[in-house]
Amino acid sequence: MIAALAALAATVAIGARITGELRTPVELPQVAYATSEQCVMCHPGRYETWHRTFHRTMTQPARATAVVGDFENASLTYQGVTSRFTRDGERFFVETLSPANTMERYEIAMTVGSRRIQQYVTRVGDRHVRLPVAWNIEERRWIHLNGGFLDPDATAFNAHRTDWDSNCIFCHNVKAQPRLNRETDTFDARVAELGIACEACHGPADLHIRRNRDPLRRYLLYLGDRDPTIRSPRELPRMQQIQICGHCHGQRLPNPRERIAEFMTVGDPYTAGDDLSRFTTPIDAHTELAGTDLSQRFWSDGTPRLTAYEYQGLLTSEGHGSSDLTCMSCHDMHGGDPRGMIQPAMRGNAGCVQCHAEIGRNVSKHTGHEAAGSGSECYACHMPPTTYGLLTVHPSHRITSPAPARAWRNEMPEACTLCHTDRTAIWAARETARQFGTPPPDDEPSDRAFETAESIRSLFGGDVVQRAVAANALAQARSYTSDPTQRLWAVPFLLLTMEDPYPAVRHFAHRGLLELCARAEVGESAIGAAPKSPPFDYLAEPAARTAALQSWWSWWQGLDKRRLSHPGAAVPLDAEFMPRRDVITSLIARQSNHLVSIGE
């Protein structure tokens, strides 16, 4: 009896101690990191759902299981330089042009990226260096990064050769520590774990693991106590939830700027769950940085137009501060499609009507479009595809309402004419006013360029991002018509765009051309097979591109177009469905070719 009472008393004492410990805050930034290999022992299900994500494989050692590029003696010729990709057993090599203008053979140390493009990092002295050639995973081909980013043809071959230790390390790994020695100008970079792993979102877990070896503590946690040794994003205040994602999906500068020394020598001071604004300030359209025009990363109304600024998009969305909206309202880090970390339903209107239920009950009344049509897709109007990243145009994460006047006020794409590609922005503004009973804009432009369909005006007269977005709009699945044949009028404009001086724009035009033709060749709308050769390569030398284009032009001119309808007066096509060169030349003369530095 006495022994039993003593045991009970001891248990009660231990329980009281643990309860007290659970209620004592922990300075998590002082805790060591453990890596995901420790987390899996107690959280196998969560580990499995993370393990299948592209977050895990963002940065990997260059093992055979990680490298997806063709290293079987493949080659890529760009700007007259033939780069070669080889392997020796489990070792991978890239022979390419060095900064000294000599051909060098580099052994790959790490890979960066695993969904769209895989980049390769070598070791040069104390530094890890990202090479300027990469593997396009979706298209299964080698590319030069001048064609993956937004650079014109004449950009230097090694413009995108960059130090991983002072750049990529910060957003593609857990707890980056460049460990720059300023006296010797050398790096000794470390990370807690390569890739985006458990502790990037939950904070350092070493103390959590050690304390939870006690079964009584785990039992008390099951009863409902919160564990101060780990951070669950869903239990954090709203802004801290958003900031965990914004830490990587929102390019930023140290706060204050002088803190850059701490970032480079000691490491990133942010720990998941902290107030990110204590350490960094998001870059915006007005941020000044010597040597880089950061304003080019934003549309002139402040909306981000590059990926990796989703955090800024949410912060600038009207009314976000008084809402419950977080990244996790739509995205799911442990579920759904790894391509976007999103549940299938959230790709449709369910993402929006979870908060706007009344609109969801009668979408057509809200949109003025058929309920099942593209015009009633929430994302089409409120998060239109206006953001460039890795040869793809993504939805804007600044949630806005359609305002066609943005086209002339801000020289930016607007939602209506991204679907109504055959219409002008002025038409869209008047229609919007008519449908919603609001006054039309009182500043309609008198510039005759705006008499041209906005998609065509932007395709030839816009800057590089406008042109990429316009080419994407002309071919995207979402459209004002469900008849794919009636969209073929865009073909000659895309053919002209395949002569653009920016490889990325040529890529969008060629891919769009293939998509338009593929849709029109399906079913009863089939009107004729498109040419298969010679193949068009947006990175090839001009002569090869011209030969392929001539084949396409011959096909288009010989095509029986009796089933096509002219898209209307706003589209500068003649009776033979050929572009009106006078209009196109006038638009191209307005084209802006200022550089857009992506900063990756």
DSSP H helix total and E strand total for the chain: 22, 17
Task: Decide: helix, strand or coil at residue 157.
Answer: coil
CA 32 – CA 204 distance, rounded (Å): 6
pLDDT tens per residue, range 344-368: 889 999 999 999 999 999 999 999 9
The answer to whether the bond into 304 is cis (omega within 30° of 0) is no
Closest CA to 132 of 155, 166, 109, 165: 155
Q: Helix crossing, 425-436 with 454-461: angle to 10°? A: 140
Supply the pLDDT for residue 3.
Answer: 64
CA 469 – CA 307 distance, rounded (Å): 13
> Who contacts 65 (Cβ-Cβ below 8 Å, separation ≥6)?
none
pLDDT tens per residue, range 35-51: 999 999 999 999 999 99
* Blockwise average pLDDT, block size 10, the chain, 600 residues: 67 81 93 97 96 97 97 97 97 98 98 96 97 97 95 95 96 97 97 98 97 93 90 96 97 96 97 97 95 94 96 95 93 92 91 92 92 92 96 97 96 97 98 94 96 98 97 96 93 97 97 92 60 89 96 93 93 97 96 80
| Structural tokens at position 565 | 């309808």
| Residue whose token pair is 């580099």 | 106
**Residue ranges of the domains in the chain?**
59-168, 193-316, 413-599
Q: How far is CA 239 from the centre of its chain?
A: 21
Supply the pLDDT for residue 523.
Answer: 47
Instruction: Say if strands 252-254 and 141-144 run parallel, antiparallel, or are unpaired.
Output: unpaired
Supply the pLDDT for residue 557.
Answer: 94
Supply the pLDDT for residue 225.
Answer: 81
* Spatial contact of 547 and 534, defined as CB atoms under 8 Å apart: yes
| Structural tokens at position 431 | 């229609």
Task: Decide: helix, strand or coil at residue 491.
Answer: helix
For residue 432, how many C-alpha atoms fall within 13 Å in the half-sphere facing its CB?
23
Helices (H), 182-324: 198-202, 206-211, 215-222, 238-246, 260-265, 310-315
